[in-house]
């Protein structure tokens, strides 16, 4: 007899605002955000919004990540030269927030 353990894989919705996004970038964001489950396994949903600011600065790529967990939602916005770099920075911030949330819940239980 096998004990089957359901594995829920976090669904990441990637939204490109006013431009077409390539599959490589979608996969990159999806891969980075899926790693967040290591830090907090109760993620309800997650969204990534990618925007390009029409400014003269080189750091005009914006990634805004939104993660919903029971009782809370976290939004992190980072701006950089590339979407990949901005996504990495945003995911690192979310990791810290989720770890903090998990520790807070542990302390109260």
Q: Report CA 22 to chain centroid distance, whole Å.
A: 18
pLDDT of residue 61: 94
pLDDT tens for residues 4-57? 544 455 688 999 988 899 999 999 999 999 888 888 888 888 999 999 988 777
CA angle 43, 79, 86 (to 5 degrees): 55
Q: Which CATH number fits domain 12-108: 3.40.50.620, 3.40.50.1010, 3.30.160.100, 3.40.50.150?
A: 3.30.160.100
Q: Rounded to two decimals, what is the model's pTM? A: 0.85
pLDDT of residue 109: 65
What's phi and psi for 96, nearest 5 deg? -60, -45
């Amino acid at each position: 007899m096998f004990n089957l353990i359901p594995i829920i894989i976090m669904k990441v919705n990637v939204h490109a605002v006013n431009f077409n996004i390539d599959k490589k970038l979608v996969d990159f964001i999806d891969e980075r955000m899926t790693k967040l489950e290591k830090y907090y396994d109760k993620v309800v949903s997650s969204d990534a919004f990618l925007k390009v600011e029409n400014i003269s600065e080189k750091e005009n790529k914006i990634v805004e990540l939104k993660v919903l967990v029971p009782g809370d939602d976290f939004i992190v916005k980072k701006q950089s030269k590339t979407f990949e770099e901005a996504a990495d920075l945003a995911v690192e911030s979310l990791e810290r927030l989720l770890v903090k949330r998990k520790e807070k819940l542990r302390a109260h239980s």
